[in-house]
Amino acid sequence: MPARAPLDIDLEDKLLYGLTPTRLAYVVIGLLTAFALWSSPWAPDLVRACASLLVAVAGAVAAWARWRGRGYDGWAWDVSLFASRRYRVTWQ
C-alpha cells in the first residue's frame, strides 16, 4: 500500500488568531504584565496607563509583527548574538 506524507508537515500549528503557541504566549504575557502595571498603585494614573499601553503594544508587536518574513523575536535574538560576539569587554 503506497503512503503519502502530508505536505504541511513542516508548518507550525496555529492556535488562535493565526498565532503559534510561542506567539500566543507573547500576547498573554504582555497583557498580564500590562494589567499588573495598571493594577498596582506605584505611580499616578497617567504614568501607569502609558506604561501599561507600552507593554501591551510590545507584546502585540512581538506576536504579530514581522519584517522580511521573520518575527521580531528572531531579529532580537540575532542582534543580541551579534553584539555579544562582536564586542568584547576586557578588564583594565
Asked whether residue 11 is assigned to any structural domain, the reply reads no
Mean pLDDT across the chain? 88
Asked whether residue 2 is assigned to any structural domain, the reply reads no
Asked whether residue 91 is assigned to any structural domain, the reply reads no
Question: In terms of residue numbers, what domain contains 53?
Answer: 25-82
Residues 42-83: pLDDT tens digits?
999 999 999 999 999 999 999 998 888 888 888 989 999 999
Asked whether residue 30 is assigned to any structural domain, the reply reads yes
Asked whether residue 1 is assigned to any structural domain, the reply reads no
| Residue 92: per-residue pLDDT | 81
| Residue 31: per-residue pLDDT | 96
Asked whether residue 70 is assigned to any structural domain, the reply reads yes
Asked whether residue 46 is assigned to any structural domain, the reply reads yes
Number of domains into which the chain is organized: 1
Over residues 14-32, the mean pLDDT reads 89
Supply the pTM of this predicted model: 0.72
Asked whether residue 19 is assigned to any structural domain, the reply reads no
Q: Which amino acid makes up residue 16?
A: L
